[in-house]
Structure 1
Amino acid sequence: MEGGARERLLGDEEEVEEGLGRRLWKENKKLWVVAGPSIFTRFSTFGVTVISQAFVGHIGSSELAAYAVVSTVLMRFANGILLGMASALETLCGQSYGAKQYHMLGIYLQRSWIVLCSCAFLLTPVFIFTTPLLKLIGQEESIAEMAGTVAHWFIPVFFSFVWGFTLQMYLQAQSKNVIITYLAVATLTLHIFLAWFMVTKLNLGLAGVMGSMILAMWIPVLGQLAFVFFGGCPETWTGFSFSAFLDLWAIVKLSLSSGVMLCLELWYNTILVLLTGYMKNAEVAIDALSICLNINGWEMMISVGFLSAAGVRVANELGAGSAKAAKFAIVNVVITSFVIGFVLFLFFLIFRGRLAYIFTDDAEVAGAVADLSPLLAFSILLNSVQPVISGVAIGAGWQGMVAFVNIGCYYLIGLPLGVVLGYAFDMHVKGIWIGMLIGTCIQTIVLIYITWRTDWDQQVLIAKDRLSKWYMDKSRKSNDARGSA
């Protein structure tokens, strides 16, 4: 214990002696080892969805509107739950790796698989009964019918995320997510070719696009599993263990608080699409909004990459017992993401609606996109900070607290304000979006304040207590593994 305290003290003295430039260089090396592959991987994965939408958009307007509803509403709903619950793994793996409890990462991964698989089976009926559910909430009948067909194709895509989310978080906690990048690039290239071939040459239409998408989502999962099982992570994966079934309720509770936190964020934009569906000329409005949200989604992949990096850096440093390094990592990642977001903000202000023709041939839809472009640009700027602060919360294990912040800012302020501006003041989609942007801005300010006022030395003690509570002796784990073999 004394030796560890002395090492931390010497480490702090070395930080003081180092210049700012040297500290920035070292921190950015650690940051980009995680952020670079994470951003590139998310670009590729998100690219599969966007490329699918581009092909669907050239099949027909009804198909595009249905795809937009399913991918933006249904998949955000389901993925919000899965991604949120998987973020508990990000907290535990990151802090355990920082504390050098390497063998615990494999146990946490298996526990997360059990929890998320159970959750996925419970959510499957939502995809099966999409058409009656959409009709029940008042969606246009033609859109609801087509959306039901699209939703059935999305079921295997949805189940791929159970494994994809957990494996990504497990690997990036140890800075071994480069393998995910290679697999994602390969499958994105394959998807472009297969979607083009099936739609253009074989005339398979929607079935061709969705069949190609299913392959593109499952190939990286199988590749990551092979990497983990066959020696890619020798310190953290030593085989399946009965220990994965122990303390599941503790994992479920953290997963639920994580799920609520991220669901409230991801569903926020989903509500924007749902409210748009009740307006006049809903098909054009939904098409235009879905294009804007997809463009925004490209930029969000950068921010979500930094979210992952922020979570890993904060969790690793808290697990290692260094409050000072955790604070420095937070400042560095927020500034880096904001600078990139500001450049993209200017870019989208300049190009406005011209980017819409990538997704559609309809001039009316492209004009509607041009009208929404200033709001899109401001969303991009705001989203360069907000997800990164959420990543800090995940790294520190604040998911429960942030969930309450999200309820207040998003659903008690932003959403009601958006409804008033959109309907009472007849501002339509722009009014809804403005109100919801205000909610996001308030949420970001609140989280920045909380982060600034946090006692990070106390957070180190909290992380240590969490890890010691769920720690399992390595010899016991090895015996369990042999028993399960």
Structure 2
Amino acid sequence: MEAQNAPLLQHLRHAGEDEAKGRVRWWNRVIDVDEAKTQFLFSLPMIVTNASYYLIPLISAMFAGHLGDLELAGATLGNSWATVSGFAFMIGLSGALETLCGQAFGAKQYGKLGLYLQASCIVSLFFFVILSVLWYYTESLLILLHQDPAISRLAATYVKFLIPGLFAHGLLQNLLRFLQTQSIVEPLVVFSAVPMFIHICIAYALVNWTCLGIRGPALAGSISLWISCLMLGTYMFKTNKFEQTWEGFSSESLSYFLMTLELAIPSAAMVCLEYWAFEILVFLAGVMPDSEITTSLIAMCDNTECIAFTITYGLSAATSTRVANELGAGNSSKAKRAMFVSLELSLLLTLVVLLALGFGHSIWSSFFSNSPKIEKEFASMVPFLLVSILLDSVQGVVSGAARGCGWQHLATYISLPTFYVVGLTTSAVLGFHSKLYAKGLWIGLTCGLACQTIALLLLTFRGKWEGIDVKGTKTPVLRRFEFE
């Protein structure tokens, strides 16, 4: 009996195995599971790391709020000014390393990574000097922008005590990119979370146990950023993991200064153009009728978009690293496949955010305000906000691919007209002329974001990746763009 049943059991077993293999093959056609797993495990620590560093200046502003309403307004304005004029710019400058170090690592030109890192730090120092002068005259600049004189004075004081932290932030971002391009991201969680918790203690002590006033939380931010930088730098110098990629300080790095600068400036422009467009939107909301409601709505949408983008930014970092590494190794087809997988993951994770915001927008709006009018108006803006978050999730990934390819300058040429000609012009027309107010402002910028996303998709999908082999060349940067 057992002998008679054995062929049948074998047949059923093989049929089950074939069916399972078929399911696996079907799933692999939809998404490359191994690549998706690699990118997810890479992007998760990057999301936590970037969120932790983002919270340091934000926590400082929160502690300033305990000093009084005027101090809260000054710290909020100062933190916003510091972000758009300094911190975001430093993040953008470090994007040059995503191309340089990423492709050099893929090409196994390990010695160049340390040289590129030093060159990028020199670039950061160069712009730190310029931005420090700009920050020193913050009060005059804010008054020139028609901000309240009393708030501007406190904001200027706040920003001046953040100046030491600006250079630390620049060095920190360079170190992050240096490690990121080598796919060393797990330790970053510890080296970002620990300083954030230390920062809470320092800010509490300086606000409650000293007479520094608004200078206290700002000084705490600078101290914590230096702690973060020194912790990460010590890890890099002391561990044995970087014996090949860090060979010590060398004057040879100066020869890479101009090449790094050439990539750093468009990288910074890629980041800042979007930041500045959203800030202009807040400014436009402030000169509309019922400006208090309009400004609150735009600020709520802006903050929601930024929080949602932290997920995309982690995947963007994974995309730029994977694309740069594969192009450096001469594997253009794998580089393109990595970008497709990132897009699939980004859309999947964004779908979760969209569902949560779509069904829970009333709960979310209650975190910002208890006003029934604000809640009702925000609910009417949610559909447009969902569209902008979806578009941002796509453009974040393709922007990462552009950085990995070294096409930052092309992405900048795309962002400038889409945001400032299409986006802000449409916002002004719909917001003021059509009297749609907050909705009009957000719809206009979403139009600009849609144009940017479509153009970046054409850039990456139609750009010639095949046949590019940078392995063994003097520099791994891809400077020429050709259509397929």
TM-score range normalised by the length of the shorter chain: 0.7 to 0.9
How far apart are the structure 2 equivalents of 1:353 and 1:196? Answer: 32
Quick one: structure 1 residues 155 and 273, their matched pair in 2 at CA, closer, same or farther if it must change by over 3 Å?
farther
Q: CA deviation at 1:37?
A: 1.5
Equivalence for 2:415: 406
Q: Which residue in the other structure is 1:322 paired with?
A: 331
Q: How far 1:328 sits from its partner (Å)?
A: 1.1
- Aligned residue in 2 for 1:114: 122
2:163 is aligned to: 155
1:421 is aligned to 430
Aligned letter for 1:240?
F
For 2:439, the equivalent position in structure 1 comes to: 430
- For residue 204 of structure 1, report the CA deviation from its aligned partner: 6.6
Distance 1:33 1:252 in 2: 31
Q: How does 1:330-409 map to 2 (within 5 A)?
A: 330-356=339-365, 358=367, 372-409=381-418
The alpha-carbon distance between structure 1 residues 43 and 415, as it changes in their structure 2 partners (threshold 3 A), is same
Q: How far is 1:34 from its partner?
A: 2.6
1:306 to 315, 325, 345: 315
Q: What is the RMSD of the two structures over their aligned residues, measured on CA atoms?
A: 2.9
Matched, 1:260 2:237: no
Shift of 1:286: 4.2
Q: Tell me by how many angstroms 1:464 deviates.
A: 6.2
1:165 aligns with 2:170: no
Q: Which residue of 1 aligns with 2:19?
A: none
**3-state SS, counterpart of residue 321 of structure 1:** coil
Partner of 2:48: 40
Question: Residue 276 of structure 1 contacts residue 429 of structure 1 at CA under 8 Å; is this kept in 2?
Answer: yes
- Measure, in 1, the Cα distance between the counterparts of 2:393 and 2:445: 16
TM-score normalized by the length of structure 2? 0.84
Q: Partner residue of 2:17?
A: none
Q: Equivalent residue for 2:87?
A: 79
Question: 2-side partners of 1:353 and 1:440: how far apart?
Answer: 25
Deviations 1:188-236 (A, max 9, x none): 2223344455556779763443333333322221111101112341110
Give, in whole Å, the separation in 2 of the partners of 1:128 and 1:188: 26
Deviation (angstroms), 1:386: 1.3
Alignment of 1:101 with 2:97, yes or no, is: no
Instruction: From the superposition, tell whether residues 43 and 371 of structure 1 become closer, same or farther in structure 2 (CA, over 3 Å).
Output: same
Q: TM-score, normalised by structure 1?
A: 0.84
Larger Cα-atom Rg: 2
Q: 2:154·2:214 contact (CA, 8 Å) conserved in 1?
A: no
1:412 positional shift: 1.3
1 CA distance for matches of 2:69 and 2:377?
Answer: 15
Q: Supply the AA of the counterpart residue of 2:252.
A: S
Distance 1:276 1:66 in 2: 19
Residue 466 of structure 2 is matched in structure 1 by 457
3-state DSSP class of the match of 1:157? helix
Q: Is the 8 A contact 2:93 2:124 kept in 1?
A: yes
Taking the aligned partners of 2:44 and 2:92, their CA distance within structure 1 comes to 22
1:245 to 2:254 alignment: yes
Pair 1:127-2:101 in alignment: no
Q: 1:387 to 1:67 in 2, by over 3 A?
A: farther
Moved more, 362-371 or 90-99: 362-371
Confirm whether residue 189 of structure 1 aligns to residue 160 of structure 2: no
Cα deviation, residue 358, structure 1: 4.3
Measure, in 2, the Cα distance between the counterparts of 1:31 and 1:178.
13
Give me the whole-angstrom Cα distance separating, in 2, the residues matched to 1:468 and 1:381.
32
**1: distance between equivalents of 2:347 and 2:71?**
36
Structure 2 unaligned runs (5+)?
1-23, 479-484
* Unaligned ranges ≥5, structure 1: 1-17, 471-485
Q: Is the 8 A contact 2:107 2:471 kept in 1?
A: no
| Code of the aligned partner of 1:25 | V
**Equivalent position of 2:229 in the other structure:** 221
Structure 1 counterpart of 2:28: 21
Equivalent residues of 2:64, 2:207 under 8 A apart: no
Q: CA deviation at 1:363?
A: 7.8
C-alpha contact 1:77 1:266 (8 A) present in aligned 2: no
- The structure with higher relative contact order (CA 8 Å, sep 6+) is 1
CA distance in 1, matches of 2:366, 2:55: 16
* Deviation of the 1:333 alpha carbon: 0.5
Question: Are the aligned partners of 1:99 and 1:316 in contact in 2 as well (CA < 8 Å)?
Answer: yes
* Number of equivalenced pairs: 452
| Preserved CA contact (<8 Å) 1:69 1:273 | no
Runs of 4+ in 1 over 6 A off after TM superposition: 200-204, 360-368
Deviations 1:226-278 (A, max 9, x none): 01112341110111011111142222222223223332223221222232333
Alignment partners' CA distance in 1, 2:288 and 2:149: 14
What is the percentage of aligned positions where both structures have the same residue? 32
Kindly tell me: are residues 304 and 454 of structure 1, through their superposed partners in 2, closer, same or farther at Cα, counting changes over 3 Å?
same
Q: Does 1:296 align with 2:305?
A: yes
Which 10-residue stretch deviates more, 98-107 or 415-424?
415-424
Q: Does the aligned pair in 2 maintain the 1:414–1:437 contact within 8 Å?
A: yes
More displaced stretch, 410-419 vs 156-165: 156-165
Q: Distance in 2 between matches of 1:242 and 1:209?
A: 38
Larger displacement relative to structure 2 (346-355 or 48-57) = 48-57
Residue equivalent to 1:230: 238
Q: CA deviation at 1:449?
A: 2.0
Which secondary structure state, in structure 1, belongs to the residue aligned with residue 94 of structure 2?
Answer: helix
In the alignment, structure 1 residue 443 sits paired with structure 2 residue 429: no
User: 1:384 aligns to what SS in structure 2?
Assistant: helix
8 Å contact 2:320–2:402 — kept in the other structure?
A: yes
Aligned to 1:140: 148
SS in 1 for 2:475: helix
Give the superposition deviation at 1:93. 0.2
2:172 and 2:431 map into 1 onto residues whose CA distance is 37
Identify if the C-alpha distance between structure 1 residues 67 and 389 changes in structure 2 by more than 3 Å, giving closer, same or farther: farther
Q: 1:119: how far off?
A: 0.8
Bigger shift: 29-38 or 216-225?
A: 29-38
Aligned equivalents of 1:28, 1:46: Cα separation in 2: 26
